Amino acid sequence: MLDFATPVPDGQSPVRGLDGGTELGKRYTADEPDSTLELLATKAGQGTLSVGGEPLIVKIPKSLPASD
Amino acid sequence: MNLSLLLEMAVAGYGSRTALGPSQCGLSFAELRARAAGGATVLGDQRAEQLVFIGTGGPAYPQAMFSAAIAGVPFVPLNYRLSAVQIQDLLGELGNSLVVADSEYLPLVGQADVQLMSTGDFVRVAASATPRKGQPASADATAVILFTSGTTARPKAVLLKHENLMSYIISTVEFGNAGEQEAALITVPPYHVAAVASTLSNIYSGRRVVHLPDFDPAAWLRLVADEGVTSAMLVPTMLSRVVDLLDASPADLPTLRAIAYGGARMPQQLLKRALRMFPDVGFVNAYGLTETSSTIAILGAEDHREAVSSDDPAIRRRLGSVGRPVPGIEVQLRDEFDQEVGPGQAGALWVRGSQVAGEYHGQGSTLDADGWFCTRDRCYQDTDGYLFIEGRLDDTIIRGAENIAPAEIEDALLSHEAVKDVAVVGLPDAEWGETVCAVVVRERGTDPTADELKAHVRGRLRGSRTPDAIVWRDVLPHSPTGKLLRRQLRTELAETSTSTDGSVDGAAQARITPAKPGVHDRSYRRHPAG
């Protein structure tokens, strides 16, 4: 993992098994019941988000009506 | 945390989609970001500490909002209908600003010590300025400042931080969920929290926005048809005018799928009429305050449909509710000793959550020790969590989407030599939610006319503060300790009736349409500036 401010060196690629990709705007949570973890991807990428080596899963969005 | 992140994500996800204006020739999200970044350079060059915007809704509004965000300074839209004196007073409170104003509002700024550009010039200069990269804002930086009239005459500056607004958007909007054919019509003025919220939520959804700066029901219908508008937000008085026009000349609006309403109490008769008139449109009631970064409770389209078609009176009653709290918001009803009320009891509505700002300029935070904010609305909650707003804890009158403090008008009337005592109250009204009624006790031997007193008020305050009706009394009800009994007075007046333009002169008892008995549905209340 790199620090946020560090430029990514060329030729790097995600570790196999953690290269499933992360989608812009999607929320991710731990693959366990009642997980209190929620991440919002503000930038897409090739890597897979994980906690302790366990890949996170996409959280199904609650559908709320547009109120604005 | 910076609002500009929302625009960055939009550009990354769907940069070439149209963000503003007509679908064929409007501004894309990428173009909006480029222009906003240019505007941030202008702000930096001017060393402005905030961007004050005095203009109507249009493409310059989101551009200015995001210029301020990228530059890391607050965005301050002001009410362009204020007087020059009021504008300059507010500017004095704000300090070193760049004021961007539509040409017709430039004179309002007068000799105020600010930098001034017309909206046209700002957009033009921004277009050719080198786009500036976003500045990381400090953890609790203010993103938007909105003025609200609250309960006293002097407007208070509500400070909305980046984290408050971001929290609201991220909790309630799914990124990029709008289809390419969707379009939102914004008619609510730029200095209203609803305009800020819909600008942000539409960008984060990927929904094209069309503005109608001067509301007119015929223009609204034309724009809905011409632009293929799929969703619109209206305050109740606007909805009323649209419904009246369609009654007189029916028209098809095949693209319209959703109407969100709020800003003031929605009269139930109007809502039912609108539901009948638009059977294929989903209606959404959004309740919130400026201080809570807009919506904290929603009564969704499904809730409306269920309430209309149910046999169960408890479910039918929900049509008059403001729905259930949005994700991230906790609610609590408290009595006058700040204790939680028992089940089924009404109390003051307190809320907590990251979108709740509750901070005013020069006053610091108004949150209690545990982070709760008092909405100052009286409320009860049914067993399924639906919230019913019964009215204000204080005596603010809400006419249209404007907050009116009785004290201001009472003071103006008391300054008239023929007025001995006066109480100004709001009376329920089918169109406006409430109208302003002044109950006057005349000095012995005087005989002022209603018109005279109205003119007297109009000379001292804004036109919208002029009472709609004057009622004469020999005495006003007071408690043994001398406190004016407003609620009693309101009840007495609502039981008689008056014409909405008239005065009640002796025997000529004109009639007000009596309010429907039952829940006073203050379905949505925000605090527009001024």
Smallest CA–CA distance, residue A17 to chain B, in Å, is 25
Q: What is the CA radius of gyration of chain B?
A: 23
**Contacts by residues B110-113 (CB-CB < 8 Å, ≥ 24 positions apart):** B110/B84, B112/B87, B112/B88
Per-residue pLDDT of chain B (530 residues; tens, 9 = 90+): 899 999 999 999 999 999 999 988 999 999 999 999 999 999 999 999 999 999 999 999 999 999 999 999 999 999 998 889 889 989 988 879 999 999 999 999 999 999 999 999 999 999 999 988 777 667 689 999 999 864 445 788 999 999 999 999 999 999 999 999 999 999 999 999 999 999 999 999 999 999 999 999 999 999 999 999 999 999 888 898 999 999 999 999 999 999 999 887 787 888 999 999 999 999 999 999 999 999 999 999 999 999 999 999 999 999 999 999 999 999 999 987 889 998 788 889 999 999 999 899 988 899 999 999 999 888 889 999 999 987 777 777 888 877 787 877 887 898 898 998 889 999 988 888 899 999 999 988 999 999 999 999 998 887 778 999 999 999 888 765 556 777 788 888 877 754 444 444 332 232 332 233 333 333 333 333 32
Answer yes or no: are the C-beta atoms of B501 and B375 closer than 8 Å.
no
Q: Which of A25, A40, A68 sits opposite B13 (nearest CB)?
A: A25
Is the pTM value of this prediction over 0.90? no
Q: Which of A26, A63, A68 sits opposite B201 (nearest CB)?
A: A68
Residues of chain A whose beta carbon is less than 8 angstroms from a beta carbon of chain B are 24-26, 40, 42-44, 61-68
Query: In B99-125, which positions are buried (b, 16+ CB within 10 angstroms) versus exposed (e)?
Result: bbbbeebeebbeebebeebbbeebbee
Answer yes or no: are the C-beta atoms of B409 and B438 closer than 8 Å.
yes
From CA A41, how far away is CA A23, in angstroms rounded?
7
| Complex confidence, ipTM | 0.85
One-letter identity of residue B177: N
From CA B53, how far away is CA B101, in angstroms rounded?
6
Chain A positions in Cβ-Cβ contact with residue B286 (cut-off 8 Å): 67-68
Q: Which of B175, B198, B284 sits opposite A65 (nearest CB)?
A: B284
**CB contact (8 A) between residue B197 and residue A43:** no
Let me know if B157 is exposed, middle or buried by CB neighbors in 10 A (0-12, 13-18, 19+): buried
State which residue of chain A sits closest to B176, comparing Cα positions.
Answer: A25
Q: Which domains does chain B have, with CATH numbers?
A: 1-137 (3.40.50.980), 404-504 (3.30.300.30)
DSSP B299-313: E-HHHHHHHHH-S-H
Chain A positions in Cβ-Cβ contact with residue B13 (cut-off 8 Å): 24-25
Three-state secondary structure of B101-152 = ECHHHHHHHCCCCCEEEEHHHHHHHHHHCCCCCCCCCCCCCEEEEEEECCCC
**CB contact (8 A) between residue B175 and residue A44:** no
Q: What is the DSSP letter of A62?
A: P
**CB contact (8 A) between residue A61 and residue B258:** no
From CA B358, how far away is CA B280, in angstroms rounded?
38
Chain A positions in Cβ-Cβ contact with residue B170 (cut-off 8 Å): 40
State which residue of chain B sits closest to A26, comparing Cα positions.
Answer: B175
From CA B306, how far away is CA B300, in angstroms rounded?
10
Q: Can you read off the two tokens belonging to residue B116?
A: 């001034």
State which residue of chain A sits closest to B178, comparing Cα positions.
Answer: A66
**CB contact (8 A) between residue B260 and residue A66:** yes
Cβ of B373: how many Cβ atoms within 10 Å?
A: 22
Beta-bridged to residue A54, according to DSSP, are A51
Residue A59's pLDDT is 87
Answer yes or no: are the C-beta atoms of B259 and B281 closer than 8 Å.
yes
**CB contact (8 A) between residue A62 and residue B12:** no
